Amino acid sequence: MVVANVKVEIILNVNCDRAWEAFKDSSSWLPRMMPNVIQSYEYDGGRRGAGSLRRVTYDFPAGSFSLQKILAEDNNSMTSTYTLVGGSLASKYRHYVATVRFRPGPADRSSTTVASWSLDYELRPTGTSSSSSSRDDRDSTDNAASRSQQSALDAFKALEQYLLSSS
């Protein structure tokens, strides 16, 4: 059993309020901006916010998806927290809670945003019972962390590109 936490933070060259509003409307632009990764991004019943469900269908492997429940969304702190509740990705995790946060960039750069994504997770055991299973679990956790961090960075960069191209 390996519990892990990963975090990424990046400065985006866009206004914080615009970044937050675009993030909340990811279903309208994310599949277009990341077509080799995201096939669709839909809210159940069209409703978004705390308590809502969203289904993200990925292009790798074809048909894989995650069903995510929004645990909290706060416009004042520009923070959204979600967990995996179903789908092919949820089967890999025993615990998965991610938080996305936007805050204004440094005071002298009011047109920037600090975007952060953090994840607390625990992978399901691989089912091995050998003495190397602890090392294998650590390797799996390290790989999952690396993939998750890169995916978050790619999504933030896509958000920035989307906003810069629609200015």
Q: What is the pTM of this model?
A: 0.86
Q: Any idea of the CA torsion for 147, 42, 26, 58, to the nearest 10 degrees?
A: 30
Q: What is the pLDDT of residue 155?
A: 95
With tokens 């999504």, the residue in question is 155
Instruction: Tell me how far apart the alpha carbons of residues 150 and 70 are, in angstroms, rounded to a whole number.
Output: 21
Higher pLDDT, 51 or 127: 51
pLDDT digits (tens, 9 = 90+) for 105-140: 986 567 999 999 999 999 888 765 544 555 555 555
Contact 55, 85 (CB under 8 A): no
Q: Which domains does the chain have, with CATH numbers?
A: 3-165 (3.30.530.20)
Q: Please list the alpha-helical segments (H only) found in the chain.
A: 16-24, 26-33, 133-165
Round the average pLDDT of the chain to a whole number and report it.
Answer: 87
